[in-house]
Amino acid sequence: FYRPTDKQAILQGRHDHFGGNLSLTYDDPVMLVRGWKHHLFDEWGRPYLDAYNNVPHVGHAHPRIQVVAADQLKRMNSNTRYLHPAQTAFADKILSKLPDYFEVCFFVNSGTEANELALRLARAHTGAKGIVTPDHGYHGNTNAAVAISAYKFNKPGGIGQADWVELVEVADDYRGSFKRDDPDRAQKFADLVDPAIAVLQDNGQGLAGFIAETFPSVGGQIIPPKGYLPAVYDKIRAAGGVCIADEVQTGLGRLGDHYFGFEHQGALPDIVVMGKPIGNGHPLGVLVTTKAIADSFNNGIEFFSTFGGSTLSCRIGKEVLDIVDDEGLQDNARVMGGQLMDGLRQIEADFTCVGDVRGMGLFLGVELINPDGSEGTEICSYVKNRMRDHRILIGSEGPKDNILKIRPPLTIEAEDVDMILWTLREVLSEVGGFAPAPTCDHDHHHAGCGCC
């Protein structure tokens, strides 16, 4: 056995026995052996603030999750071919959070599997194959999920774009084609879907549907302009397609004001995909859809997942959703997210290398830029690693990896928010060549803006 303090030996073991494309975060990787709420502890017992991981949604090592998991493992753990009240109780709880027209739940083991299943459902319902999806998206690691994830297939060494996939520009109104000063930007971004649908109709693939992370995360923590998704969904439905909302990163109260991201947009999807946080670390994915779509999929072939919807998974999933309610975590996300955003806006005003701050609740992004307004990839890497030196874990995202990603467990408290803001200010002060921003009458700094 490796001793947990033997970091070098563990690094070597990974190097020897794991694939080289299994990445480690930070120049100086962290070893984590314990967790509690939004705190993590390394091999020496040193604390880290977890301001990055959305999987421990209700906090690391939550005692209620420990209790239900241990209790169910003592009793038995089996699959959906047998009756158990935990399965219907979990479905009832999820459906209570969604509009009434959602009636059917499928349980799987990951976000990837839920998206794979979403493709199957959309295809069964429409008889078509083609998918429209925003650029830079991520939906999972299997063949079809990679094929709809431009973030993967478009990388050097990627599989390239399939003939049944059409990309549209991500609705990024900071860096994209239509900016925040354009009141019609939501509609203009949505209109980009028309030619994409036409290509699929012309090349014989037809339109099965549209899939998007409701707020694109790997694309750079983007909040699409309000009205974007409803406009897209109208076009997709008019062309006979199914609208799939990937809520793996945005769902379950993280956004504070909304339980799901599509609510912010005023959009009504046909399929909602959930993952990561819904098991709080236990592998679990959920797909929810309408009776009509589920009926189209019920075409004589059994759907079965050995572990999807296991008794254990259902008990854990329901407990996670109950804890969000019982501990007021959605509200905490709203309040703490608001404090973080206020502080980040002050930081944006004080540092020219901060081009934009955006987000909602505890789904936040800080876009770092070079003096010429271009993407500050190196600055971002520096800041992320220096935050880690101060034992605050945050991530980075975006096509050029220049957006700091702050996405803590929903348990985070006011003192932690202060610590993130204070430390970020310290670290940004170390970034050379950036004088405090001159004042100008813009609300925020624009990339390439002459006066700020």
Instruction: Return residues touching ligand PMP (CB under 6 A).
Output: 110-112, 115, 138-141, 213, 217, 246, 248-249, 275-276
Q: CA separation (Å) from 120 to 211, 283, 294, 403?
A: 13, 21, 11, 33
Q: Is 301 exposed, middle or buried (0-12, 13-18, 19+ CB in 10 A)?
A: exposed
Q: Of 363, 357, 360, which is closest to residue 344 (Cα–Cα)?
A: 357
Sign of the alpha-carbon dihedral angle for 347, 348, 353, 359: positive
Q: Residue 219 or residue 376: which is nearer to ligand PMP going by CB?
A: 219
Give every CB contact of residue 199 below 8 A, 6+ residues apart in sequence: 166
Nearest distance from C-beta of residue 284 to ligand PMP, angstroms: 9
Minimum gap (Å) between residue 363 Cβ and ligand PMP: 11
The smaller minimum CB distance to ligand PMP, of residues 186 and 273, is found at 273
Q: How far is the CB of 253 from ligand PMP (least distance, A)?
A: 16
Q: Nearest approach, Cβ of 219 to ligand PMP (angstroms)?
A: 10
Shortest distance, position 4 Cβ to ligand PMP, whole Å: 25
Of all helices (H) and strands (E), which one includes residue 246? strand 242-246
Q: Which residue is nearest to ligand PMP (CB)?
A: 111
Read off the DSSP letter of residue 435.
Answer: P
Closest approach, Cβ 245 to ligand PMP, in A, equals 10
CA 282 to chain centre: 17
233 vs 434 by CB, closer to ligand PMP: 233
Q: What is the 3-state secondary structure (H, E, C) of 136-204?
A: CCCCCCCHHHHHCCHHHHCCCCCCCCCCCEEEECCCCCCCCCCCCCCCCHHHHHHHCHHHHHHHHHHCC
Minimum CB distance to ligand PMP smaller for 140 or for 176: 140
Closest separation in Å from C-beta 345 to ligand PMP: 26
Residue number, 25 or 374, with CB nearest to ligand PMP: 25
- Which uninterrupted H or E stretch holds 245? strand 242-246
Shortest Å distance, C-beta 218 to ligand PMP = 7
Backbone phi, psi, residue 278, to 5°: -70, -20
**Cα(92)–Cα(106) distance, integer angstroms:** 12
Q: Is 100 exposed, middle or buried (0-12, 13-18, 19+ CB in 10 A)?
A: exposed
